[in-house]
């Protein structure tokens, strides 16, 4: 990692394209390098300095880190298109009581009373593998909605799981004095304008334009009489 670039990690399902475009407009001479990271490793990579910041799924271990919650995703259940739950527009946890419920290492959903249904004997490490198992007719998959969209298949669909915990997404970075580049990226994520006083710049501010000379106290020339 060099001082002339900014490295951002992001978990699957997150779409950093808008931030990337805004960064290119504000810092055209500093590349924004993107790195796909797993939910489990995002915080550790920030602490290790492998990336400058990461867009991670909550909850995370915040030891040595700052974190700004960005948004909360809807949790959905991915099922074959002919599955019985597709008859409804929404699904509850109770509807999955008799199902084999798969989860993947790409999400960090926090279930206070435990996940719904029956736990699978094999827990797929990735959403892609879990989707393949569901497509084979074995179980259903509970994930944040962005992951269901990312791994969309024609033979599968999903329904919102209305009483399930949501999946929080946050920007996290080292708990230290922010660099100019870090302040810039925080400003972009928070929607600050390019001229915000909170966004620090490494270059010195432009010198103010000279003020025109004052005309106060000057006497106008007298008119000549004809």
- Identify whether 223 is part of a domain: no
The C-alpha atoms of residue 10 and residue 150 are separated, in whole angstroms, by: 14
216-225 tens-digit pLDDT? 555 555 555 5
Would residue 221 count as lying in a domain?
Answer: no
Q: What is the CATH number of the domain that holds 29?
A: 3.40.190.10
31 found inside a domain = yes
pLDDT at 224: 53
- In this structure, the answer to whether residues 179 and 147 fall within a common structural domain is no
pTM, two decimals, is 0.80
Same domain, 42 and 83: no
Query: 64-73, 180-189, 196-205: which has the minimum mean pLDDT?
Result: 196-205
Q: Please state, in angstroms and rounded to a whole number, the distance separating the CA atoms of residues 156 and 172.
A: 33
226 within domain boundaries: no
pLDDT of residue 3: 56
User: Same domain for 65 and 98?
Assistant: no
One domain for residues 159 and 142 = yes
Number of domains the chain contains: 2
> pLDDT tens digits, residue range 108-156?
888 888 888 888 777 778 899 999 999 999 999 999 999 999 999 999 9
Both 124 and 161 in a single domain?
A: yes
Looking at the predicted structure, is the pLDDT value of residue 78 above 90? yes
159, pLDDT greater than 90: yes
Phi first, then psi: what are they for 181, rounded to 5°?
-65, -40
User: Do residues 134 and 181 share a domain?
Assistant: no
pLDDT of 44 higher than 50 = yes
- Quick one: 48 and 59 in the same domain? yes
In a shared domain, residues 64 and 112: no
CA distances from 201 to 9, 181, 187, 206 (A): 23, 8, 12, 11
The reported pLDDT for the residue numbered 89 is 95
Q: Are residues 44 and 118 in the same domain?
A: no
Whether residue 111 is contained in a domain is answered as yes
- Does residue 32 share a domain with residue 105? no
Residue 198 domain flag = no
Is the Cβ–Cβ distance between 171 and 189 less than 8 Å?
A: yes
Domain residue limits at 118: 75-165
Does one domain contain both 143 and 124? yes
Same domain, 105 and 33: no
Q: Put the strands of the sheet holding 167-174 in their side by side order.
A: 32-36, 6-10, 53-57, 167-174, 65-73
Q: What is the pLDDT of residue 195?
A: 65
200 has pLDDT over 70 = no
E strand segments, 25-183 = 32-36, 53-57, 65-73, 75-80, 100-102, 118-119, 140-144, 156-160, 167-174
Asked, for residue 56, whether it belongs to a domain, the answer is: yes
Beta-ladder partners of 7: 33
Q: Is residue 84 part of a domain?
A: yes
Dihedral of alpha carbons 65, 71, 72, 76, sign:
negative
- Contact in structure between 119 and 101 (CB atoms under 8 Å): yes
Q: Residue 184 above 80 pLDDT?
A: yes
């Amino acid at each position: 990692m060099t001082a002339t670039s900014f490295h951002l990690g992001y978990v699957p399902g997150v779409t950093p394209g808008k931030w990337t475009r805004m960064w290119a407009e504000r810092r055209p001479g500093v590349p924004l390098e993107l790195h796909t990271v797993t939910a489990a490793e995002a915080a550790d990579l920030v602490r290790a300095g492998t990336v400058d910041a990461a867009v991670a799924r909550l909850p995370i271990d915040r030891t040595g880190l700052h974190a700004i919650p960005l948004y909360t995703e809807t949790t959905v259940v991915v099922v074959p298109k002919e599955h019985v739950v597709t008859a409804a527009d929404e699904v509850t946890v109770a509807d999955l009581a008799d199902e084999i419920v798969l989860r993947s290492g790409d999400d960090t959903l926090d279930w206070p009373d435990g996940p719904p249904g029956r736990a699978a004997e094999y827990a797929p490490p990735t959403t892609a593998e879990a989707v393949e198992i569901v497509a084979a007719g074995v179980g259903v998959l509970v994930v944040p909605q962005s992951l269901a969209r990312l791994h969309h298949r024609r033979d599968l669909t999903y329904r919102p799981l209305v009483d399930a915990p949501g999946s929080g997404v946050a920007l996290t970075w080292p708990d230290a004095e922010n660099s100019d580049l870090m302040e810039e990226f925080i400003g972009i994520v928070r929607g600050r304008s390019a001229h915000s006083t909170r966004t620090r710049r490494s270059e010195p501010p432009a010198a103010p334009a000279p003020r025109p000379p004052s005309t106060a106290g000057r006497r106008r020339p007298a008119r000549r009489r004809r």
